[in-house]
Chains A and B, each alone.
Chain A
Amino acid sequence: MLLTRHLGELWRHRALVAALAGRELKGRYRGSVLGFLWTFLNPLLLLLVYALVFSVYFRVQMEHYAVFMFTGLLPWIFFSQGLMEGAGAIVDGGSLVTKVLFPQQVLPAVKVVSNFVNFLLSLPILLFFMLADGLRPGPAMLAFPVVALVHLAFTFACVLVLCVATVFMRDTRHILGNLITLWFFLTPVLYPLTQVPERWQWLVYLNPAAVFTLSYHDVIFWGRWPRWDHLGLLALLSLAILAVGVRVFEHYKEYFAEKI
């Protein structure tokens, strides 16, 4: 089957994905004085900015709001950056696409994986703040890998479609950038679900991004098990998009070298 062949091929090139993702992560801060430390410093500073704005200026009436907000924000950063960078993966591939024979499905995967690893690396900061704020992670944390995996699958599936679309329509990236901003505010990242009027809450559940955001909130912040039914639906949706994405990618990949 196309899907398994595509993923199998990706798995066969896992060393290459790892090497390139490593390069992305290391290269990002290469040449700066603090170097890799920025991987931790960036989310930390971001957290302080948000904490300042929402806890001091806005005075949001919610206990441990900084931690709550941060719980949703970190996965969102992975998601949005993964989508943005992933959408340009082929277009920005340059000579790897046009001049050498190269397994091209590696390129979007690298963008997603490197941002995912970046996300995982920022988790200790979150943990530190939880503990500092007097919150203890509960047994529901055990579900974290499942949530993260579904989230990863969903992101990867979207990227696969987007990177092909970007090759043929360069506008995709600019449209996407604005859509993501809208999406961000429609998703309960900065506010708990209870802030949404009750009769509109069903709408929130239609948003795939809300499903993983709420799940992260559940397992990390609220210390309760995620809504498995929602998570399962998201997994199915991811698989469906992945199947479409693989089909689209495999069908159009022979034109990449000519189109770029």
Chain B
Amino acid sequence: MSSPPAIEVSDLVKRFRREMLVRDYGTWKSLLLRPFSRQRRRDLVTVLDGVNFSVDPGRTLAIIGQNGSGKSTLLKILAGIYKPDAGVVKVRGRVSSLIELGAGFHPEFSGRENVQLNAAILGLSKKEIAERFDHIVAYSGLGEYIDAPVRTYSSGMYVRLGFSVAVNVDPDVLLVDEVLAVGDEAFAHKCEDKVNQFRRAGKTIVLVTHDLGAVEKYADEVIWLDGGCVAARGEPKPVIDAYRQKVATQEDQIRRDQCQSEGELRQERWGDGDVVIEAVRVLDAAGGERAVFQHGEALTLEIDYRQVKPTDDLVFGVALSTAQGVLCYGSNTHIDRAELGQAPPAGTVRLAIERLDLVQGTYLLDVAAHAKDGRAYDYIKQITSFAVRSPVGDEGVFRPPHRWSLAPRREA
């Protein structure tokens, strides 16, 4: 580990001028009217605010974060397209960026001609282009279309050709922005192979993506950018988990706001009112109210009730169904033979679910207070809903905790 870091970023700050089409747009007129105006200085948006990190040669760094968190700006600064407003950015070695594929392609020219030009634009010398040309063309897999004008290409072909040139620049540092999301399955595999090949060859890779699966697969280290600052940095797993948590919390907030404003729940309520359900809360393990859960998380349901008329056979019930109305689970304190003792005149019933073994989706809750014979005191259908998020794409309703394994079979 004696070699210096391939990328060093310290105290990086980047600001953009807030550009409003109506006012700020520079014109000769405004220049003439107030040539030394400094008032625009105030309209700055800080996109990156004191970012620090370094990447050792041969490591793969992934940058994750929500839209507008400054990921792409950071990548463009690493690529040298933007200049930082403050701080130092050092990148050692030849950089190739997969930020834009096929930059400067001319639609009227053939793929062949455009490869020559694009390679020159990306900084290859004439000799290098001659050496690598056949390989680039072969790698693009365009076959005879290489001599057709680029304007006749499908978008997939266009990207494949651009990718082919960009990765054959033979960089020391590869900067990858979301581009790998385009193209078909075969292309995706090709990209994957190439990234792996780069990793084996000891190249440094910086990856900006929303594909957290890919991050877990490739990255040695992850930086989570949030609002232009490094929110977390380190091993992929914990950083990704923290990021997911944050996203879920925000989603949660949005969901709850929506529930309140839109009334997506079609609530129905009946019963004789001897017992009134006053509030229902969906809580997470820490006791905070939540509307979005990760699969397998714990969930606690709290029901506040009040007895208007004293009853001695009070039963509390809960039903959980999917958004399509499929009942997933229903039970009550009577069926479960829960020993609760005599219910006080007012209180809170708590149902603790240790693991939400549900697949991803939205689930609706019904709660009820009724008598043992089923007579409803207060029955509320679809009183609330919550969502389950899962990185796994399994289907159905119920996900039993499970594990796959494989063993050879002994022939008899």
**A94-B106 Cα distance, complex, nearest whole Å:** 12
- Cβ-based interface call for B95 (8 A): yes
Report yes or no: A100 in contact with B103, Cβ–Cβ below 8 A: yes
| B window 63-92: CB within 8 A of A | 76, 79-83
| Stretch binding the partner chain, chosen from A19-27, A81-89, A139-147, A149-157 | A19-27
**Cα(A175)–Cα(B126), bound, Å:** 40
Interface size class of A (residues with CB under 8 A): 20 to 34
Residue A257 interfacial (CB < 8 Å): yes
Residue in B28, B103, B113, B120 whose beta carbon sits within 8 Å of that of A95 in the complex: B103
Q: Which residues does chain A contribute within 8 Å of B116, judged by CB atoms?
A: 19
Residues of A within 8 A of B100 (CB): 95, 98-100
Contact A100 B108 (CB under 8 A): no
Give the docked Cα–Cα distance between A74 and B44 (Å).
48
> Is A168 on the interface with B (CB-CB < 8 A)?
yes
A254-B83, A257-B76, A257-B82 known; A99 vs B99 contact (CB < 8 Å): yes
Q: Tell whether A229 is near chain B: CB-to-CB under 8 Å.
A: no
Contacts of A257 in B (CB 8 A): 76, 81-82
Contact B81 A98 (CB under 8 A): yes
Partner of A101, one of B95, B106, B120: B95
- Interface range on chain B (Cβ under 8 Å from partner): 20 to 34
CB distance from A50 to the nearest CB of B (A): 30
- Chain A residue at minimal CB-CB distance from B95: A101
How many pairs of residues, A versus B, come closer than 8 Å at their CB atoms? Answer: 69
A182 within 8 A of B: no
**Does B329 sit within 8 A of A, measured CB to CB?**
no
Q: Are B121 and A96 in contact (CB under 8 A)?
A: yes
Please tell me if A31 contacts chain B, counting CB pairs below 8 Å: yes
- Bitwise, A218-260 to B at CB < 8 A (1) or not (0) is 0000000000000000000000000000000000001001100
Known contacts A99-B100, A99-B103; decide if A30 and B109 are in contact (CB<8 Å).
yes
> Is A171 interfacial (CB 8 A cutoff)?
yes
Among B28, B82, B121, B122, contact of A171 (Cβ-Cβ < 8 Å): B28
* Cα separation A44 to B106 with both chains bound (whole Å): 28
- Are A101 and B26 CB-contacts (below 8 A) given A23-B109, A258-B16? no
Per the 8 Å Cβ criterion, residues 99-128 of A in contact with B are 99-102
CB-CB under 8 A from A15, the residues of chain B are 120, 125-126
User: Please, which residues of chain A bring their CB within 8 A of the CB of B28?
Assistant: 169, 171-172, 175
Q: Produce 1/0 per residue, B1-37, CB < 8 A to A.
A: 0000000000000001100000000111001000000
Whether A190 is near chain B, meaning CB under 8 Å from some CB there, is no
Q: Is the CB of A100 within 8 A of B97?
A: yes
Q: Is A180 an interface residue (CB 8 A)?
A: no
Compute how far the CA of A20 lies from the CA of B121 in the bound complex, rounded to whole angstroms: 9
By beta carbon, the residue of chain B nearest A96 is B104
30 A-B pairs whose Cβ atoms sit less than 8 Å apart in the complex: A15-B125, A15-B126, A16-B120, A20-B117, A23-B109, A23-B113, A23-B117, A27-B108, A30-B109, A30-B149, A94-B104, A95-B103, A96-B103, A96-B121, A98-B81, A98-B100, A99-B103, A100-B103, A101-B80, A101-B81, A102-B103, A102-B121, A169-B31, A171-B27, A172-B28, A254-B82, A254-B83, A257-B81, A258-B16, A258-B82
5 nearest A-B pairs in the assembled complex, by CB-CB distance: A99-B100, A30-B108, A254-B83, A95-B103, A101-B80
Instruction: Give residues in B with beta carbon < 8 Å to A.
Output: 16-17, 26-28, 31, 76, 79-83, 95, 97, 99-100, 103-104, 106, 108-109, 113, 116-117, 120-123, 125-126, 149
Q: A16-B121, A171-B28 are in contact. List 17 more A-B contacts (CB 8 A).
A: A19-B117, A20-B117, A23-B106, A23-B113, A26-B109, A30-B109, A96-B121, A98-B100, A100-B79, A100-B97, A100-B100, A101-B97, A172-B28, A175-B28, A254-B82, A258-B16, A258-B82
